[in-house]
Amino acid sequence: MNRTVFAVDIGTSSLKAALIDSFGEVLAAARVRFPRAQRTGEHWENALSSAWAAVHSQLGDFTPNAVSVSGNGPTLASVSQDGRASAVLLWNDPVSPIPAESGAGKTPSLFIPRIQAFQSLYPREFSEASSLLSGPEYIVWRLTGSPVTILPDPRYEKAYWTAGDLSATGLSGVPLAPFLLAGQRFGLTNGTAGIPAGIPVTGCGPDFTAALLGTGTIEPGTACDRAGTSEGLNLCLGEPISAEAVRTLPGAVPGVWNASYILSETGAIFHTWRRDNGLAAMQYPELMKQIEQSPIVPEHQGILHPGRKVVEEIGFAVRRGIETLNAIAGKDLVWRLSGGQARNEIWNRMKADITGARFALTRTPDGELMGDAIAGFAMLGEYASMEEAARAMVRIDKIYEPDPENHLLYTEKYRTHAHL
């Protein structure tokens, strides 16, 4: 029987999980939404337990060969000496600016400003913390009892923290867990969340590096559009670059780099519009079908469907990002899709029409989960490296091509929009 990995990704609004085999086949999957209340580590654990039970109900009794975890960041929760979990400071929670004299803004770290914000918002939990952990690390700790910080690649250390940066910002005594590299063995399960004891645990760490792995965006010139609550357009490069509106970080595997164009709220904007207009009860595919079938250019100066207006605004923002990264690549890129938005066939078609780009859907729209599985099989020795696993397990199932007539109409509107 093929070996399997139970892959887990902690998103902003939900936890996703899947059982994936060494050929990249998704055998069963589940998604559990978090409550709208202030998030705690217990919400993550409860969702993990529910996801495990859901997959178990689909397959019957099974025991995976590994568990592998990823999640959004820099999100933080603290764990006290007696094992209590604090409230969670999500990566996108608004926080007050940290005073310049505290050293904020003088470091390349993405985590240090959030650690300072956590200290300000939750002083008691901060002072009582035995460890400060992000989402995937919290799950690893609950599963194994071992506090770790998952580092995607040694080059990421400055983006997390260094001893010098911690000292310069007055955080040298903060209980941060030691770094372990993605794909290493972090420990064995202890029976938490209903998952049997004795299973090796690993992870990818941040969800965006998991998505890059899980879509095979590991060769220079490959690209990924990772879209859920927020959206990131990612281009794999052979060397780092500096460009306006683009963040360059190390890639998902050694020797490559990743250029990102971030759109922080594309999914959130659409869902806010749905809620504010009393459409939350309407199924997402049904609403998108209405929007797609409405005219791109209404006849006789008719009124544009209000949902279409929102979708086009989002699409034009994505188009700007694609044009930016196409210029860096020197070619028209094919964008491998990942994330919740990739599940909607209509939006994938419309996005191709609006942007003029080609989009590729891999075997699963949840690239993060495939990336977790890739890390898991690399840890198990099924493949010699995560690169080898990605090349073997990631397969493109469908390409979305822009419709020439629709693209022309959208281009005329885009050019007008760009000059507003």
Give tens-digit pLDDT for 16-51.
999 999 999 999 999 999 988 888 889 999 999 999
Same domain, 313 and 204: no
What pLDDT, on a 0 to 100 scale, did the predictor assign at position 108?
A: 83
Same domain, 236 and 312: yes
- pLDDT for 54-93, tens place per residue? 999 999 989 999 999 999 889 999 998 888 887 899 988 8
CATH at 86: 3.30.420.40
Average pLDDT score over the chain: 92
- pLDDT for 342-363, tens place per residue? 999 999 999 999 999 999 999 8
Same domain, 166 and 311: no
Count: domains in the chain: 2
Give the pTM: 0.92
**Contact (CB, 8 A) for 361 and 367:** no
Of 192, 208, 224, at which residue does a domain stop? 208
Same domain, 297 and 360: yes
**Contact (CB, 8 A) for 328 and 259:** yes
Opening angle at CA 319, ends 318 and 320, nearest 5:
90
Same domain, 142 and 152: yes
Domain hosting residue 369, numbered range: 209-418
On the CB side of 45, how many CA atoms lie within 13 Å of its CA? 21
Same domain, 270 and 177: no
Of 208, 230, 258, at which residue does a domain stop? 208
Same domain, 112 and 243: no
Same domain, 375 and 228: yes
Instruction: Classify the phi-psi angles of 301: left when phi > 0, otherwise alpha if psi is within -120 to 50, otherwise beta.
Output: left
Give the SS3 label for residue 123.
Answer: helix
Of 179, 208, 237, at which residue does a domain stop? 208
What pLDDT, on a 0 to 100 scale, did the predictor assign at position 363?
A: 87
Report residue 43: phi and psi, to 5°.
-65, -40
**Contact (CB, 8 A) for 214 and 233:** no
**Contact (CB, 8 A) for 212 and 236:** yes
Helix (H) or strand (E) segment spanning residue 79:
strand 77-80
What pLDDT, on a 0 to 100 scale, did the predictor assign at position 37?
A: 80
d(CA 114, CA 111): 5
Helix (H) or strand (E) segment spanning residue 406:
helix 404-418
Question: 184: which DSSP letter?
Answer: S
- pLDDT for 219-273, tens place per residue? 999 999 999 888 999 999 999 999 999 999 999 999 999 999 999 888 889 989 9
- pLDDT for 86-135, tens place per residue? 789 998 888 876 665 555 556 789 899 999 999 999 999 999 999 999 99
Same domain, 238 and 333: yes
Give the SS3 label for residue 27.
Answer: strand
What pLDDT, on a 0 to 100 scale, did the predictor assign at position 216?
A: 96
The structure tokens 């990131």 sit at 232
Same domain, 184 and 73: yes
Tell me whether residue 69 is exposed, middle or buried, using C-beta atoms within 10 angstroms of its C-beta: 0 to 12, 13 to 18, 19 or more: buried
- pLDDT for 275-318, tens place per residue? 899 988 888 889 999 999 999 999 877 889 999 999 999 999 99
- pLDDT for 136-177, tens place per residue? 999 999 999 999 999 999 999 999 999 999 999 999 889 999
d(CA 96, CA 98): 6
pLDDT score of 386 more than 50: yes
Same domain, 271 and 216: yes
What pLDDT, on a 0 to 100 scale, did the predictor assign at position 420?
A: 47
Same domain, 20 and 70: yes
d(CA 163, CA 172): 7
